[in-house]
Amino acid sequence: MPLSAAQYFPQTAAIRRPLFGWLIVTVGTLFVVSLILAAPLLAADGHTTAAQNIYHSFSFVCHQIPERSFFINGHKLAVCSRCTGIYFGAMLMLLLYPLVRSLRLVHTPPRKWLIAAAIPLVIDFLLTFLGIWENTHTTRFVTGFILSSVVVFYVMPGVVELSLRKRGTSSAREIATGVTKPIPVGPSDYSAPERRI
C-alpha cells in the first residue's frame, strides 16, 4: 500500500538553492556577454551614447586596444580578444556545468588542472612580451577560453556551498555531505521523476 506524501523523504530539496545560485551566475554571465556584443552593434546602428556607456564600463576591466580586439560591423567588441575568450569560455561552461557536474558537489578539482589551464595563457603572453613571437587574436581568444572554462569548476562549488549555507550551521559543506546529521532511512520520493533534476 502506498505511503502518504508526508512519509517520504524529499530528494529535491538539496538541489533547489544550488540550482538558483547556478541560474544567477549563468544569467549574469550571459548578460555581460550580450553587452560585449551589443556595444559594436549599437555603435554601428548610430546609438553612440549607449555604445560609449558600455565601452566605458568595460574599460575598467580591459585595455580595449583596437589592434587586439575583434570587430563587428567596423566597430570593436567591448573587450579585447583575450577577454572575449575569457567571457565566452565562462558562459559556455556555465551553460554546460549541470550536464557535466552535479550541482550538489561542493569540492573543487585538484589545483593541478587550474595551473595546467593557465599555462597556455602564460606562455602566449610571455612569448610576445619577450619578443620571441607575436600572439594573434586566435591564440589570445583560445588561451582565455581555456582558462575561464576550467575556472568555472573552481567557482561553482563555492557558489553551491554558499547557496547551501543556513543560519546557525557551521559549514555548508557539512550540509551538502550530510556529515552533521545521519542520512534519513525510509522511502524516498524517487517515484515522482517530474520533481527530480
- Rounded to an integer, what distance in angstroms lies between the CA atom of residue 8 and that of residue 190? 9
How many domains, the chain?
1
What pLDDT is attached to residue 15? 81
Q: Which three cell numbers stand for residue 128?
A: 610576445
**For residue 31, pLDDT beyond 70:** yes
- Rounded to an integer, what distance in angstroms lies between the CA atom of residue 25 and that of residue 15? 15
Residue 188, domain member (yes or no): no
Residue 3, domain member (yes or no): no
Q: Which three cell numbers stand for residue 16?
A: 533547489
Residue 49, domain member (yes or no): yes
Residues β-bridged to residue 75: 72
Interior CA angle at 196 toward 193 and 197, to 5°?
130
Per-residue pLDDT of 61-106, as tens digits, reads: 999 999 999 999 999 999 999 999 999 999 999 999 999 999 988 9
The whole-angstrom distance between residue 57's C-alpha and the CA centroid of its chain comes to 20
Residue 16, domain member (yes or no): yes
Query: What's the chain's average pLDDT?
Result: 86
| Whole-Å CA distances, 6 to 9, 16, 178, 181, 187 | 8, 19, 21, 20, 11
pLDDT band at 1 (very low <50, low <70, confident <90, very high): low
What pLDDT is attached to residue 165? 83
For residues 3 and 132, the model is more confident at 132
- Of how many residues is the chain composed? 197
pTM: 0.78
Count the alpha carbons within 13 Å of 181 in the hemisphere toward its beta carbon: 8
Using DSSP, state whether 47 is helix, strand or coil.
coil
Per-residue pLDDT of 95-136, as tens digits, reads: 999 999 999 889 999 999 999 999 999 999 999 999 999 999
What pLDDT is attached to residue 46? 95
What pairing do the DSSP bridges indicate for beta strands 75-76 and 71-72? antiparallel
What pLDDT is attached to residue 134? 92
Alpha-carbon torsion 175, 178, 102, 194, what sign?
Answer: negative
pLDDT above 90 covers a percentage of the chain that reads 73
**For residue 183, pLDDT beyond 50:** no
Residue 185, domain member (yes or no): no
- Rounded to an integer, what distance in angstroms lies between the CA atom of residue 41 and that of residue 47? 9
Residue 101, domain member (yes or no): yes
What pLDDT is attached to residue 182? 47
Range of 137's domain?
11-180
Residue 187, domain member (yes or no): no
Residue 190, domain member (yes or no): no
Backbone torsions φ then ψ of 105, nearest 5 degrees? -80, 135
